[in-house]
Amino acid sequence: MMGSLAPATEWLGDTRREFDCCDTTFRVQATGIRADAAVTAARETAESLEARLNAFDETSAVRRLNREGEVTNEHVARIIRRGLEYYDRTDRVFDIHQGRVEHDLKAYLRGDSDAVPATFDTGTVQVSGSHVTADVELDLNGLAKGYVVDRASEALTGLGRGGFVSGGGDMSPPTGAVAIESPYGDDTPLKILDTDWRVATSGGYKRSRNGTDHIYDSTTESLGSRHESVTVVARRDCMEADALATTLTALPLEEAKTLAAEWDGLEALIIHEGVFHTTGAFETHVLDT
């Protein structure tokens, strides 16, 4: 009997791994049957998707779309469909048509350019199956990292195994308490979450230069976060949490609070001028201490 159990027990484990992906640090943890193999599969999934979705990689599908105006890729098509959904549902605040603006803004933040984008773009994009055509460069960054976390999380989970994937503020349903990082540079977390929803945090406090960060609102042609940070928990998936955290960060406070309150399956914490603003049920996702 002991001999028959030995091979099974060798499969059990608790594996954690960190790696660079999507211009941030990914953290993956799995516990249970074949945990190590699952973490490896999650990492391979994340890195494979990054290679397809990185707009700054000349060989990626997104870069080819922005350069040639068309591409056939199921992952790009899925992300763009969702981006167009949020473009409509947020009255164009979440805008995937700003690839040139995003590229120029990133160049400025890296110090490769001394000029911030002065104008915004308009254009059209169409999706048919996995084929995409566009007459404007696209910015999928507000969705891509959440999509990668979702797909890596799918690769991680399995029968007799649990775990989570975290990538730069975006997280699949965590397996334990999660601290929301303070945007003020101290070690005291804003809140401790205890949730089975997806989590995303956005803000300009990590990437900024001369008061400009990576957030923009093309409807007002303005650059920069309007709040210190926004944390979203979303029932649907991490891609939705990612997109809505970005959108709320770009909106004025009252508009952000209204959108968050009206969005089904979403709760939010908005930090504005040092004041905490939460949707009605956000605290149900916070650890009761």
pLDDT tens digits for range 8-22: 444 678 999 999 999
Please name the residues in contact with 280: beta carbons below 8 A apart, sequence gap of 6 or more.
261, 267
Joined tokens for residue 175: 């397996």
Q: Which residue, 18, 93, 86, is CA-closest to 241?
A: 86
Per-residue pLDDT of 30-64, as tens digits, reads 999 999 999 999 999 999 999 999 998 999 999 99
Q: Which residue, 202, 177, 173, 191, is CA-closest to 260?
A: 202
Residue 83 has pLDDT above 70, yes or no: yes
Q: Tell me the mean pLDDT in the region 188-209.
A: 89
Residue 200 has pLDDT above 90, yes or no: yes
Mean residue pLDDT of the chain comes to: 92
Residue 4 has pLDDT above 80, yes or no: no
Q: Which residue, 260, 257, 289, 267, is CA-closest to 179?
A: 289
Helices H, strands E: what count in the chain? 8, 17
Q: 262: part of which helix (H) or strand (E)?
A: helix 253-262
Q: pTM of the predicted model, to two decimals? A: 0.91
Residue 12 is predicted with a pLDDT of: 78
C-alpha span between 177 and 193 (Å, rounded)? 6
Joined tokens for residue 23: 């211009």
Q: Tell me the mean pLDDT in the region 154-159.
A: 90
Residue 1 is predicted with a pLDDT of: 34
Lowest mean pLDDT among 45-54, 91-100, 200-209, 254-263: 200-209
Percent share of the chain, pLDDT over 70:
96
Contact at 8 Å (CB) between 129 and 22? no
Place of tokens 């960190």: 18
